[in-house]
Amino acid sequence: MRCRKCDERAVINMRHHKLSLCGDHYGEWFVAQIERAIEKYKMFTRDERILVAVSGGKDSLSLWDVLLRLGYQADGMYIGLGINTPIPYSDASLEMTRKFLARGGWRESGGDGDSVTSNVTPYTPFLHVVDVPEVYGKSIPEISRAKMRGQGRPCAACGLTKRYVMNRLAHERGYAVLATGHNLDDEVAVLFQNTLRWQTGYLARQAPTLPASHEGLVRKVKPLCRMYERETATYAVVRGIDYIYDECPHAAGNQMNFHKTLLNQLETESPGAKLSFYLEFLRARGEGAFDQFNETVELHACEICGQPTTAPGRCAFCRMWDVSAIVQ
Ligand code: Q46
Ligand code: ZN
Ligand code: ZN
């Protein structure tokens, strides 16, 4: 298979786009796709400060890399969850993130970086690290065991904590927007799950750009939402980004992965099915198909931390972590 643009050996063949590209041309193509999504979904501008939630995985590191190459003011935030058994998942993922930052390489001249970086002002990124066990006294598996009576996975406690810590840090440090590395496969699996259950409220709020609906909340964006997981992985490889291959040990066998497997079968039979499922959903959503389900819930400030919450008194995070005074 040859590159459509230069006849070099192709590193990827995207059947859904009928396009195969070599490493250099693929890198350029990928960056251009992300820039297009940022503009199309009005995610952010070059004047705004962006906080990228980084996990040490291919998606978030690739996203950070692309934003820096495009000259955006993008800092990173790593949340240490304290998940280190049976594999040192948290420690290894922080190491990958630090390695990425130390390596630099997004302002290089020459090679495929040239056309992307030549006319942008380089930005020196900063990495915020919030270590949950250090700040809040317990790891995610520990707080989950304590609060959920050892039932099920720690993912509910994990999701709540991550959402809270990300939003709070972004808001307190004056970032205009929080960017996450969700790719097309992630978005389609969520869409499929929400559709199976007809969770219309969730469907109404599933979007590449979620505006800050309330004081204290920041805008949330997903610039990789139209890129297949395979495409993001290929970008990381082409760019020589070292990332953590292991999934969180608590992810194995979850429903999301099961749905991803089903959707992959569909994609194999019908290339492009995932992309069109997602894009057609966005079209219908854009035409107002879910507007009636977009309820505006009244939020007020948590009496402990001041973050917006629906519950009266303490927010769900402060209740779960038994926070009775503000932890800085
Ligand atoms: S990190 Fe956390 Fe995931 Fe691990 S404990 Fe579950 S939610 S699976 S994205
Ligand atoms: Zn080429
Ligand atoms: Zn609170």
* Structure tokens belonging to residue 316: 């769900």
Q: Which ligand is nearest to the CA of 11?
A: 2
- Of 10, 14, 16, the closest CA to residue 2 belongs to 10
Average pLDDT, the chain: 92
For range 8-35, the mean pLDDT: 97
Residue 53 has pLDDT above 50, yes or no: yes
pLDDT digits (tens, 9 = 90+) for 209-260: 999 988 899 999 999 999 999 999 999 999 999 999 999 999 987 899 999 9
CA 288/CA 294 separation, integer angstroms? 10
CA 68/CA 117 separation, integer angstroms? 9
Q: How far is the CA of 326 from the centre of ligand 3 (A)?
A: 8
3-state secondary structure (DSSP) of residue 76: strand
Identify which has the larger pLDDT, 163 or 148. Answer: 163
**Nearest 5 degrees, angle CA 84-CA 149-CA 164?**
60
Residue 108 has pLDDT above 50, yes or no: yes
The answer to whether 238 and 27 have CB atoms below 8 angstroms apart is: yes
pTM for the model = 0.94
How many Cβ atoms are within 10 Å of 82's Cβ, its own excluded?
Answer: 20
Query: For strand 308-309 and strand 177-179, is the pairing parallel, antiparallel, or unpaired?
Result: unpaired
> How large a percentage of the chain has pLDDT more than 70?
93
Identify which has the larger pLDDT, 264 or 327. Answer: 264
Among protein residues, the one with the nearest Cα to ligand 1's atom 6 is: 155
Is the beta carbon of 247 within 6 A of some atom in ligand 1?
no
CA 226/CA 275 separation, integer angstroms? 7
Residue 130, CB-side half-sphere exposure with 13 Å CA sphere:
21
Taking the CA atoms of the chain, what radius of gyration do you get in angstroms?
20
Q: How far is the CA of 2 from the centre of ligand 2 (A)?
A: 8
Closest ligand 1 atom to 248 CA: 4
pLDDT digits (tens, 9 = 90+) for 254-267: 899 999 999 999 99
> How large a percentage of the chain has pLDDT more than 90?
83
pLDDT bin (cut points 50, 70, 90) of residue 297 is: confident
Q: Which ligand is nearest to the CA of 301?
A: 3
Residue 110 has pLDDT above 50, yes or no: no
